[in-house]
Structure 1
């Protein structure tokens, strides 16, 4: 992203993430210096050519930025963002097959964060440039956003990323992924029977695409049972078992295990307290629509902690006072709206405001996205 004073580049673990970040920085700089800049000169007598992203340029001369020119501006920048988001994902997809499946998953996660920040950066630039162009160089109107961003927004990016995970990261022990899966089984899951009885916690496993792997073959898994996975943000994902997929192993070379077909429950990932109904006292038991058959499960990471860390990062970033205040207000708006229907709108507003400050908030962006 475009770096501000006091910022440093984000650090990515994969080459795909590093290369994509560089490409995005260069593209934002090019748009600043070329496309957005040219709109200042459409009122002059000399004909100005501006990329339409349709294969032939827009040509303007002696025309004020009003009426149809504004419509063309917003139509063009909306189309551009849709095209570039697709191009960035295409470039990532072309590189994925060069890497092992565990690296692919990390690369896709990094790409999602970078592309979301790119999309927010373009949106922020479009709104600000429109406000300036509608002004008279002394007085400027309030900003308004007339972009049609849906096909390149957060939901569209998440959908494309999910398709990549499903297509390129699905694990299959029979195809030689045995040792990869063994090394990646670091997730702690909880198991519940369909009637919410017989809870078992601290199960080592791996969730990838529509599969859940575990070598804990003592679990009495049947269709309709549930697995819970706690995310770093403190939210809990719920998966429903469709097919237990028990595998007896292979002559001692591959241990018996489950390759369970799963699906996400209809509800979005919910805060832990909506799934865990009663938590009282230190190391309290957990009741989930049943008598107490649970083992202790500690859930210590809260949404409040995420907002606290966002604010700490912001205060330590050495930004200009006005920019710091604007971002702090955006964080406060998110925090006050968490758990309500308007949270998504406040989240998107924060992403736009933070478009140039990816390095300030880093991995917290991913944790924040899990609250949607």
Structure 2
């Protein structure tokens, strides 16, 4: 099942991928020219270069900026998902969370591959090119995929727990005397634990 949110995220990430390739990566190829090139630093600032080769500091900035970019994208998409889940039917939540993770993971792998190819091209002289920096690419990919996993697990646990408590409340609604007894005995704090045990007994 593809949810509405997943369809929207897919379109946004496809557009973002094209924008990065056609604009952001393209600008890095221009830093050796005589004109100042301004590149988005994804932190509210611009990176300005002119007449430089893609070695040393510029290359380090390239990779560190990509790291910041991926972390920003992951945060933005999961923050949007978290807000949407507040009003989404429970039946769609699990699929939406799973599809969001898959789309962000695919986006990350694809764009890291592009970044690696661009890095190799820019380190070359137009005729000869060094080997791809697989180690750096894999390190970045692992870091971002781990961040995606962390956000996915956190949001999944939150809404699965929330759904579980709603189920418990519904089941306890069928046994109002038990709830009243616990509260009447001053055991309201034990209600959730008792409800969990009850849920296992009656489901």
Give TM-score scaled by structure 2 length: 0.79
Establish whether residue 246 from structure 1 lines up as the match of residue 197 from structure 2.
yes
By relative contact order (CA 8 Å, sep 6+), the higher-ranking structure is 2
The equivalent residue for 1:104 is 93
RMSD across aligned C-alpha pairs, in angstroms?
Answer: 2.6
Q: Distance in 1 between matches of 2:75 and 2:3?
A: 20
- Residue 134 of structure 1, CA deviation: 0.6
**2:72 aligned to which of 64, 83, 98:** 83
Q: Distance in 1 between matches of 2:81 and 2:13?
A: 12
Establish whether residue 114 from structure 1 lines up as the match of residue 103 from structure 2.
yes
Larger helix fraction of residues: 2
Q: 1:56 to 1:155 in 2, by over 3 A?
A: closer
The equivalent residue for 1:141 is 130
Q: 1:150 to 1:32 in 2, by over 3 A?
A: closer
Q: Distance in 1 between matches of 2:31 and 2:38?
A: 9
Q: 1:244 to 1:177 in 2, by over 3 A?
A: closer
The equivalent residue for 1:92 is 81
- Residue 244 of structure 1, CA deviation: 10
Q: Distance in 1 between matches of 2:130 and 2:151?
A: 36
Segments of structure 2 that go 5 or more residues without pairing to the other structure are 173-192
Establish whether residue 42 from structure 1 lines up as the match of residue 31 from structure 2.
yes
The equivalent residue for 2:116 is 127
Give the SS at the match of 2:59.
helix
Q: Distance in 2 between matches of 1:66 and 1:111?
A: 36
Superposed CA deviations along residues 288-329 of structure 1, whole A, max 9, x for unmatched, are: xxxxxxxxxxxxxxxxxxxxxxxxxxxxxxxxxxxxxxxxxx
- Residue 89 of structure 1, CA deviation: 1.2
Establish whether residue 29 from structure 1 lines up as the match of residue 12 from structure 2.
no
- Residue 44 of structure 1, CA deviation: 0.6
- Contact 2:171–2:199, Cα closer than 8 Å, also in 1: no
The equivalent residue for 1:159 is 150
- Equivalent positions of 1:195-210 (< 5 A) are none
Q: Distance in 1 between matches of 2:10 and 2:125?
A: 36
**1:63 aligned to which of 39, 52, 67:** 52
**2:160 aligned to which of 159, 163, 169:** 169
Q: How many residues align?
A: 178
Establish whether residue 256 from structure 1 lines up as the match of residue 180 from structure 2.
no
Segments of structure 1 that go 5 or more residues without pairing to the other structure are 1-11, 179-241, 250-254, 258-372
Q: Distance in 1 between matches of 2:39 and 2:52?
A: 14
- Equivalent positions of 1:172-321 (< 5 A) are 172=165, 173-176=167-170, 245-247=196-198, 256-257=202-203
- Contact 1:85–1:152, Cα closer than 8 Å, also in 2: no
- Contact 1:85–1:119, Cα closer than 8 Å, also in 2: no
Q: 1:63 to 1:248 in 2, by over 3 A?
A: closer
- Contact 1:132–1:140, Cα closer than 8 Å, also in 2: yes
Runs of 4+ in 1 over 6 A off after TM superposition: none
Q: Distance in 1 between matches of 2:128 and 2:142?
A: 33
Q: 1:248 to 1:79 in 2, by over 3 A?
A: closer
- Residue 59 of structure 1, CA deviation: 0.5
Q: 1:64 to 1:95 in 2, by over 3 A?
A: same
Q: 1:161 to 1:177 in 2, by over 3 A?
A: farther
Give the SS at the match of 2:48.
strand
- Residue 155 of structure 1, CA deviation: 2.6
